[in-house]
Structure 1
């Protein structure tokens, strides 16, 4: 069954009692296809439909990267792993420099092409275990499990260089140069932090990079060994020892 067949009346009526027309139309518009060897309405066909919808709901439609919902899920899972194992994990927050100026001077179509180009460059720089997400308009983030502090500058520099080396073609023939600023923070080890606190730490370093002139990366001076007040609350908030004090 190809993508056009997904939205056919036969497919929509394949499962009595279920109105699948909107779901099938959504998949058809996304260009996704269900397996041709699964009869419409069969368990395999319905499972493929569910899997395709789940995948669609977790992806940014423009870049194909993980969306913010999927990114926050990945953050929470990685924080839990670090709290249990103590292994280092790096979060990189990225922002395209002067993106509004690109849109103003070249138009939103070129701006979209820039977003797609940056997404492609980021994917070239990461491992299969890493999560790359578009978390805002021109904002991206990467979760890197098992990334020792000594590797962080090299990873960020590889990303920065790869983006800066690429040019995006505008309709008038001009080549648009793109740079990114990056901020990095490590998850606190052996402590159950929160995605919001981890992202806040990375954002603080991103703001430093932008204030220092952009097209660069900044990191926390050391891996954050000192636990913040908020993280202490997460760690001890339900502790009977604290209640007894």
Structure 2
């Protein structure tokens, strides 16, 4: 005897529950089908969509949304904020020498180390294969170098076990830039500034921190254009 086909909505609900189960999510509140249960399902799916599957960190989409919110906040309030971007040094060698499973272990270990170095208000994200970023709201320039160095040293001092008797020494290169205060900017420009410092850190031999000088507080031509457009002034230079 053929079983009646389930409606498409039931199939989608079943797929959503399977997705949550595979991700290790705990049971949902309330009775199945109740308003509390459905709200819990929605909340769990939203949370899952914002997380990197391997590390549990914020994913790139979540990072970009948070970056936009933070740069708008800095432009309005003038409070300092620091963006750190970083790569695991010579990560390709890990995959080539020990395999991709070892590479995954290294990525997860670095993710845990980054979380150990930040405040609850900070956002740590995996934005690429071996690429990470940290948004640090209300981080004065006097503390920027200290924070970035703490992250670098924490990773450097953390040997990663990738097999019986096998340990890998890991390091990261870090670049950083402060959001321009009281200036209308864009997430892309902020990331570009931090990445420029990351490239400098790599050029200096890796396992290095390079921050944009906060005292200079450079404003790019693009940011000047955004400022003039928002205020109605014209740049006659």
TM-score of the pair, normalised by structure 2: 0.91
Separation (CA, whole Å) in 2 of partners of 1:203 and 1:137? 16
Deviation at 1:153, TM superposition (A): 1.0
Deviations along 1:6-32, one digit per CA (max 9) or x if unpaired, are xxxxxx99xx87841211111111111
Contact 1:90–1:143 (Cα < 8 Å) also in 2: yes
What's the counterpart of residue 66 of structure 2?
Answer: 74
Task: Report how many residues are paired.
Answer: 231
Contact 2:197–2:210 (Cα < 8 Å) also in 1: yes
What's the counterpart of residue 221 of structure 2?
Answer: 229
Separation (CA, whole Å) in 2 of partners of 1:159 and 1:180? 9
What's the counterpart of residue 27 of structure 1?
Answer: 20
What's the counterpart of residue 5 of structure 1?
Answer: none
Separation (CA, whole Å) in 2 of partners of 1:182 and 1:53? 32
Deviation at 1:241, TM superposition (A): 4.4
Say which is worse superposed, 217-226 or 51-60, in terms of deviation.
217-226
What's the counterpart of residue 3 of structure 2?
Answer: none
What's the counterpart of residue 173 of structure 1?
Answer: 165
Separation (CA, whole Å) in 2 of partners of 1:129 and 1:205? 24
What's the counterpart of residue 208 of structure 2?
Answer: 216
**3-state SS of 2:227 partner:** helix
Separation (CA, whole Å) in 1 of partners of 2:17 and 2:161? 35
Deviation at 1:33, TM superposition (A): 2.4
Separation (CA, whole Å) in 2 of partners of 1:117 and 1:110? 11
Deviation at 1:164, TM superposition (A): 0.7
Change (3 A) 1:224 1:65: farther
What's the counterpart of residue 180 of structure 2?
Answer: 188
Change (3 A) 1:183 1:233: same
What's the counterpart of residue 122 of structure 2?
Answer: 130
Unmatched 5+ residue regions in structure 1?
A: 1-11
What's the counterpart of residue 103 of structure 1?
Answer: 95
What's the counterpart of residue 109 of structure 2?
Answer: 117
Separation (CA, whole Å) in 2 of partners of 1:134 and 1:157? 19
What's the counterpart of residue 51 of structure 1?
Answer: 43
Separation (CA, whole Å) in 2 of partners of 1:92 and 1:201? 10
Unmatched 5+ residue regions in structure 2?
A: 1-5
Change (3 A) 1:152 1:54: same
Contact 2:80–2:137 (Cα < 8 Å) also in 1: yes
Deviations along 1:74-123, one digit per CA (max 9) or x if unpaired, are 11111011001101100001110000001100110010000000000000
Deviation at 1:224, TM superposition (A): 5.1
Contact 2:89–2:173 (Cα < 8 Å) also in 1: yes
Change (3 A) 1:17 1:146: same
**3-state SS of 1:81 partner:** helix
Change (3 A) 1:222 1:31: closer
What's the counterpart of residue 205 of structure 1?
Answer: 197
Deviation at 1:227, TM superposition (A): 2.0
Change (3 A) 1:92 1:134: same
